[in-house]
Copies of this chain bind each other. A is one copy, B any other.
């Protein structure tokens, strides 16, 4: 089950607070208004939108709301429970036969595990099961990569379009140098699109793209353990060896490392 990922909105809030703080300490709260330039915003956003429209197909664009929502959710993977599940399945399969697994499948929530076990119960060969399950993992990876690419590309186009806005502003400013007094404010205005492009890329698009990449890595990792588990159950592997094998993937070192640290502290004390 997916939970609300509070870190994403917190990060955005911290970023906006930092920006407000930066303006405030420089020039007081009154100057904040100057930084909210609808036109600059439209230029940067219009440019990014134009580039993305050319870059992606309509089918890929449709994934945007789904991918965006994904950014605010995370899934906790209880790897120890996952291993327990497979140890239990393995024990049951060795005692009562593979067919007996079908009965207890209702307790298993994860549809990917269910599918794998059903394939095993159907008596399909391990190699084909592995092929089928890994094909699904690879297809998921590809799908996620496409979704992530929307943000990654936006992060690449954002600074460029910020610069386009600034260049346009500079050209107009330089072209009509009638009143030196307007030079400063005009240039300030021109720089705001660069500011927008940089912030959009480094606060929103690139961090989100990177987060999505890591979430996919995590999910692939968990699914690979599931595949190993299903194959182990299917081939009637000894539950103890299966547990050993699956545990190798899991970060049990965590405990060791903490113990080690405690010892060290003890030694230093």
Contact = CB atoms under 8 A, between A and B. Distances in A.
Nearest to A12: B54
Contacts of A245: 128, 131-132, 135
A160 interface: yes
Nearest to A210: B55
Contacts of A140: 253
Interface string A248-263: 1111010011001100
A105 interface: no
Q: Is the interface of A mostly helix, strand, loop or mixed?
A: helix
A34 B167 CA distance: 13
Interface in A180-227: 181, 183-185, 187-189, 191-192, 194-195, 198-199, 201-204, 206-208, 210-211, 214-215, 217, 221
Contacts of A43: 18, 21-22
Interface string A112-145: 0000000100001000100111011011101100
Interface in A214-250: 214-215, 217, 221, 241, 244-245, 248-250
Contact of A160 (B25, B57, B184, B198): B198
Number of copies: 5
B139 A248 contact: yes
Contact of A21 (B2, B46, B160): B46
A5 B153 CA distance: 20
Interface stretch (A58-66, A81-89, A91-99): A58-66
A223 to B, nearest CB: 12
Interface of A: 2, 5-8, 10-15, 17-19, 21-23, 25-27, 31, 34-35, 39, 42-43, 46-47, 49-58, 60-61, 66, 69, 71, 74, 111, 119, 124, 128, 131-133, 135-136, 138-140, 142-143, 146, 149, 153, 156-157, 160-161, 163-165, 167-177, 181, 183-185, 187-189, 191-192, 194-195, 198-199, 201-204, 206-208, 210-211, 214-215, 217, 221, 241, 244-245, 248-251, 253, 256-257, 260-261, 264
Contacts of A171: 34-35, 188, 191-192, 195
A188 B211 contact: no
